[in-house]
């Protein structure tokens, strides 16, 4: 792109449209402050200025970043990076120009010059919004001015009801923004605005999706993985680590703890009835997780259970698991089908990791037939023999941290 084209086009910038954050009434400012701070965290490797006006956050690049090719790439990378930050619905790669009708018109012409829609004479529309009502033209007047010039210049037909190309113009207090398409954001609420939770992360497909769903509802999520070591290899730990690494782009500063669970599983195996072993183990996992949650000030547990998916997830067995702990157990996937969960895992990039082979700690205990209607009294009896409350504290004492602070690539 030539220097003059760059100056006609103005500076690249990124505009973010917020979702439910704008509905938050009196708490809105808190939510927005949190969101801006999350955005700055996600962009810590870039030199940017994050500014907010009304329901829109704008990301600018400092003045030595001009409108040249290399900076377009940076703006694109920034747009992609922020599209992972929960609380944002739409991300637009935009151009900032002076708020002057003639400047805006020239920029619009330049903006779409090389687009395939112009080449194939696609139907187009211009949509303007004024956040500054003192701007000399009304929105529909600006639409007509810019639309007319585009029509004269490129011969594209106007189609207001079903355009293939839409040129958006937003006239703000100090400047105007122009853009065409946009990236979908994650939606939801800013991470941290709902508190903190501890997710039980296996190496499977479901639990990473469950953790993602709760991040998107504003929870900061820490991760706990139960490994069968010393009776299994460390593969499941590497998988858990890889999953957390991947999920970290949604929240940053993720933390993973690993519980060496093999010996406890052995005790369950020798102490109880085979058919109850899986539920007894799940209760011990939850009790251990609750103990860890208290220590890190997490207010809920998260699991990837989906009703009826496997025998440990019948309604009776889920009730028996809830009974093991006082903290709420959040199960965001409870009503989803496996195919829906897999589609989401694919979209957030965890599916390929989850599908890697590993030696899940649960295979140590897999009985030939598992109880689908576990009785809480029977489970409590096993736990008395195991001294499960003490065991959970000991297991919580033995957790190993994996810090993932410097993750964001
Ligand atoms: P996933 O795909 O998440 O492993 P699943 O369909 O295989 O789920 P289960 O194996 O019954 O179902 O596990 C149910 C939930 O229990 C998991 O989603 C996870 O939250 C938790 N869980 C199971 N195994 C482990 C583990 N080894 N470490 C941590 N959490 C676990
Ligand atoms: Mg599993």
Sheet strand arrangement including 301-302: 329-330, 301-302, 195-200, 219-227, 255-260, 400-403
Residue nearest to atom 20 of ligand 1 (CA): 303
The structure tokens listed for 303 are 């699991």
Number of other CB atoms surrounding residue 70 within 10 Å: 9
- Residue 362, ligand 1, Cβ within 6 A: yes
Structure confidence at residue 409 (pLDDT): 33
Closest CA to 398 of 301, 203, 261, 221: 261
CA atoms in the 13 A half-sphere facing the CB of 262? 12
Helices and strands counted in the chain (H then E): 15, 14
The alpha carbon of 205 and the centre of ligand 1 are apart by a number of angstroms equal to: 9
3-state secondary structure of 389: helix
The alpha carbon of 348 and the centre of ligand 2 are apart by a number of angstroms equal to: 18
Q: d(Cα 146, Cα 102) in Å, to the nearest integer? A: 9
- Residue 204, ligand 1, Cβ within 6 A: yes
Kindly give the confidence (pLDDT) of every residue in the chain, 409 residues in length, as a single tens digit, with 9 standing for 90 and above.
Answer: 334 445 799 999 999 999 876 666 778 888 999 999 999 999 999 999 999 987 799 999 987 654 455 588 999 999 999 999 999 999 999 999 999 999 999 999 999 999 999 999 999 999 999 988 889 999 999 999 999 999 999 999 999 999 999 999 999 989 999 999 899 999 999 999 999 999 999 999 999 999 999 999 999 999 999 999 889 888 899 999 999 999 999 999 999 999 999 999 999 988 767 888 899 999 999 999 999 999 999 999 999 999 988 888 899 999 999 999 999 999 999 999 999 999 999 999 999 999 998 776 666 666 667 788 888 998 999 999 999 999 999 999 999 888 665 433 3
Q: What is the pTM of this model?
A: 0.92
The top-level CATH class assigned to 195-402 is alpha beta
The alpha carbon of 39 and the centre of ligand 2 are apart by a number of angstroms equal to: 33
* Domain range summary for the chain, segments of one domain joined by +: 11-184, 195-402
The alpha carbon of 313 and the centre of ligand 2 are apart by a number of angstroms equal to: 11
Q: 320-357 burial by CB neighbour count: b if 16+ within 10 A, else e? A: bbbebbebebbbbbbebeeeebbebbeebebbebbeee
- Residue 288, ligand 1, Cβ within 6 A: no
Q: 26-41 burial by CB neighbour count: b if 16+ within 10 A, else e? A: eeeeebbebbbebbee
Structure confidence at residue 311 (pLDDT): 81
**Residues 90-104: tens digit of each pLDDT:** 999 999 999 999 999
208 CB-near residues (< 8 Å, 6+ apart): 201, 243, 246, 247, 304, 345, 348, 350, 353, 354
Strands (E), 228-299: 255-260
To the nearest 10°, report the CA torsion of 307, 310, 316, 319: -70
The alpha carbon of 224 and the centre of ligand 1 are apart by a number of angstroms equal to: 11
Of all ligands present, the nearest one to the C-alpha of 284 is 1
Q: Are 199 and 302 in contact (CB under 8 A)?
A: yes
Only one residue has tokens 């037939």, namely 369
Q: Which of 199, 201, 203, 204 should be mutated for ligand 1, with most atoms under 8 A from CB?
A: 204
- Residue 304, ligand 1, Cβ within 6 A: yes
Angstrom CA distances, 111 to 10, 11, 124, 182, stand at: 10, 12, 14, 14
Q: d(Cα 147, Cα 114) in Å, to the nearest integer? A: 17
**Which atom of ligand 1 is the closest one to the Cα of 360?**
27
Structure confidence at residue 407 (pLDDT): 39
- Residue 281, ligand 1, Cβ within 6 A: no
DSSP 155-173: -PPB-SSS-SEEEEEEE-S
The structure tokens listed for 353 are 């990791």
Q: Are 288 and 259 in contact (CB under 8 A)?
A: yes
The structure tokens listed for 122 are 């696609």
Angle between helices 262-271 and 376-386 (to 10 degrees): 120
264 CB-near residues (< 8 Å, 6+ apart): 284, 391, 395
Q: d(Cα 193, Cα 199) in Å, to the nearest integer? A: 17
H helices of 43-178, in order, are 69-82, 101-111, 116-119, 139-154
Only one residue has tokens 């810590």, namely 44
The alpha carbon of 100 and the centre of ligand 1 are apart by a number of angstroms equal to: 58
**195-402 shares the fold of 11-184:** no
Structure confidence at residue 367 (pLDDT): 63
Residue nearest to atom 8 of ligand 1 (CA): 206
Q: Are 383 and 267 in contact (CB under 8 A)?
A: no
11-184: which CATH topology? VC0802-like (3.30.2130)
């Amino acid at each position: 792109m030539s220097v003059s084209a760059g100056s006609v086009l103005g500076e690249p910038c990124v505009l973010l449209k917020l979702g439910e954050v704008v509905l938050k009434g009196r708490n809105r400012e808190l939510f927005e402050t949190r969101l801006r701070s999350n955005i700055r965290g996600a962009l810590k490797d870039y030199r940017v200025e994050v500014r907010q006006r009304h329901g829109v956050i704008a990301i600018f690049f400092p003045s030595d970043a001009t409108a040249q090719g290399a900076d377009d790439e940076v703006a694109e990378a920034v747009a992609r990076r922020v599209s992972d930050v929960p609380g944002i619905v739409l991300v637009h790669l935009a151009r900032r120009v002076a708020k002057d009708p003639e400047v805006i018109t020239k920029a619009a012409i330049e903006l779409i010059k090389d687009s395939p829609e112009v080449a194939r004479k696609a139907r187009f529309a211009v949509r303007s919004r004024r956040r500054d009502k003192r701007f000399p033209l009304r929105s529909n007047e600006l639409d007509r001015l810019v639309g007319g010039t585009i029509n004269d210049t490129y011969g594209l037909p106007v189609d207001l009801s079903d355009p293939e190309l839409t040129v958006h113009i937003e006239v703000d207090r100090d400047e105007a923004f122009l853009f065409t398409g946009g990236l979908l954001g994650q939606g939801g609420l800013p991470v941290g605005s709902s508190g903190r939770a501890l997710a039980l992360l296996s190496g499977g497909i479901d639990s990473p999706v469950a953790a993602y769903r709760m991040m998107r509802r504003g929870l900061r999520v820490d991760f706990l993985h139960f490994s069968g070591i010393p009776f299994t290899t460390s593969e499941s730990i590497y998988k858990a680590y890889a999953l957390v690494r991947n999920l970290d782009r949604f929240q940053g500063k993720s933390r993973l703890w690993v519980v060496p669970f093999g010996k406890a599983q052995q005790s369950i195996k020798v102490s109880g009835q085979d058919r109850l072993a899986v539920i007894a183990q799940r209760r011990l996992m939850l009790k251990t997780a609750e103990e860890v949650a208290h220590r890190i000030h997490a207010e809920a547990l998260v699991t990837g259970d989906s009703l009826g998916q496997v025998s440990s997830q019948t309604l009776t067995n889920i009730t028996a698991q809830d009974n093991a702990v006082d903290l709420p157990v959040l199960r965001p996937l409870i009503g989803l089908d496996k195919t829906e969960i897999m589609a989401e895992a694919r979209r957030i990039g965890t599916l390929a990791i989850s599908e890697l082979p590993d030696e899940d700690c649960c295979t140590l205990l897999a009985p030939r037939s598992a109880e689908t209607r576990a009785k809480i009294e029977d489970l409590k009896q096993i736990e008395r023999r195991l001294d499960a409350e003490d065991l959970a504290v000991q297991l919580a004492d033995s957790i190993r941290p994996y810090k993932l602070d410097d993750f964001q690539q």
